[in-house]
Amino acid sequence: MAIDMFEPRTLLAAVQNSKRAPSVLRDRFFGNVRTFDTKTVDVDIAYSDERTLADFTSVEMGATFNERPGYVTRTYRPAYIAPARICTAEDALKRAPGENLYADMGPEARAAAIVARDLTDLDKQISRREEWMASKALFEGKIAFGGKGADAEISYWPEEEAKKPFTEVATKWGETGADPLGDIAAIADTVADRCEYFPSEVWVGSKAIIPLMKAIKADKGFDALNIVMGNINPQANTQNFYSTFGYINVNGVQMKVIVYKGSYFDGTKTVHYVPDDEILVAAPEAETIRAYGVIPVADVAANTTSYVTGDRVPSSWVEAKTGSRVIKLASAPVLIPTEVQAFHVGKVL
């Protein structure tokens, strides 16, 4: 019995068994993946860990009661992303790029190959959008969903300016009197004070890394005998556009210095996922969630709609008038930094 690759279960199995396109910020900070069979997701956002001490009491008193630490429960509706491609009869008759001139591939096989390539490309598009969402969640504390049929925003940071995980340094890096290493140490202390983690990574914008490296070079502690203040040994991952520059010692903790130059095109210009003039002091072990909502899948022939959970849900149908096959890959992601104080942004230029 022949297998129809366009049958929903076959398409779904093929997509679920395939590797996702790499996404640096998403994969590093939002690796806790959950799927929901609902349109909305309820999440508790922790704003601070006040580290209160338990009160002394007596046996006669029995217990002392206190309030739960500061958090807020929010309901998020995941964004709906559904890029699609059309494979026409003409496409199926043309030789595919890279296909042998004399290859014995019929139109049906060629159409199947086109759809497989399209699924891979659509997955990359969704992964880039998820990377954009990760960047916005970490560096701006909010994600604005704008597009065709969508116009909403979700926020993560506290409303009070003083409690937001954001610091603009008094003296910009590169100016006289600037102290990049001191600024990083101060932000790291703030993270440690507000949550239960001491940060172990600092992600640096492509322009901010220049004055930071100059400050490290000028710091005599890096050359002191038997004193390890850091180790600078740049190693690049050219496939994913990031480099690990080494480690710096911040209050006795070795923090990894990372420069990520991944970018996207916003319609007018190329934008880096890590802003050029900012840094992110982060505790990667802090709790986050990458949630995916349910996806409606219509069966035109049966005149029914089913609901499927997963990070990628493919569907396909044939347009009756044109004979063209449409392939769609849908996803409903929302990236949530539930412990927002573990990711502190510094504007340094």
Is residue 14 a part of any domain in this protein?
no
Question: In this predicted structure, what is the pLDDT of residue 117?
Answer: 82
Distance (Å, whole) CA 102 – CA 48:
66
Q: How many CB atoms lie within 10 A of CB 168?
A: 10
Q: What residue type is 81 in one-letter code?
A: I
Q: What percent of the residues of the chain are helix, what percent strand, and what percent coil, each to the nearest 5?
A: 25, 30, 45
Contact 25, 320 (CB under 8 A): no
Report if residue 238 sits inside a domain. Answer: yes
Domain contains 324: no
pLDDT recorded at residue 300:
67
Cα 11 from Cα 206, distance rounded (Å): 40
Q: Name the phi and psi angles at 346, rounded to 5.
A: -120, 125
- The answer to pTM > 0.75 is yes
Do residues 79 and 146 make contact, with C-beta atoms less than 8 angstroms apart? no
CA 339 to centroid of chain Cα atoms: 15
Which CATH number does the domain housing residue 175 bear? Answer: 3.30.1930.10
The pLDDT assigned to 166 comes to 98
Q: What are the tokens at 69?
A: 């630490």
Report in angstroms the alpha-carbon separations of 32 from 28, 128, 290.
10, 18, 6
Domain membership of residue 218 (yes or no) is: yes
Residue 316 in domain:
no
Q: Is residue 117 part of a domain?
A: no
Q: Write the Ramachandran bin of 124: left for phi over 0, alpha for psi from -120 to 50, otherwise beta.
A: alpha
pLDDT in tens, the chain (349 residues): 344 555 655 566 666 666 666 789 999 999 999 988 887 777 777 766 566 667 666 566 656 555 555 567 777 778 889 999 887 655 554 545 555 544 556 666 766 677 778 888 899 999 999 999 999 999 999 998 876 655 578 889 988 999 999 999 999 999 999 999 999 999 999 999 998 889 999 999 999 999 999 998 887 666 654 445 567 677 767 667 778 888 898 888 889 999 999 999 988 999 999 999 999 999 999 999 999 989 988 776 677 888 888 899 988 888 777 777 788 999 999 999 999 999 999 999 9
Whole-number Cα distances in Å, 161 to 140, 157, 166, 321: 13, 9, 9, 56
Q: Has residue 109 been placed in a domain?
A: no
Residue 102 backbone dihedrals phi, psi, to 5 degrees: -110, 20
Helix pair angle (209-218, 180-194), 10° resolution: 110
Cα-to-chain-centroid distance, residue 222? 33
* pLDDT of amino acid 27: 94
Based on the number of CB atoms within 10 Å of its own CB, is 177 exposed (0-12), middle (13-18) or buried (19 or more)? exposed
Instruction: Please state the domain count of the chain.
Output: 1
Q: Which domain holds residue 208?
A: 160-285
CA dihedral of residues 292, 140, 349, 271 (deg, nearest 10): 50
In a domain, 269, yes or no: yes
Is the CB of residue 330 less than 8 Å from the CB of residue 295? yes
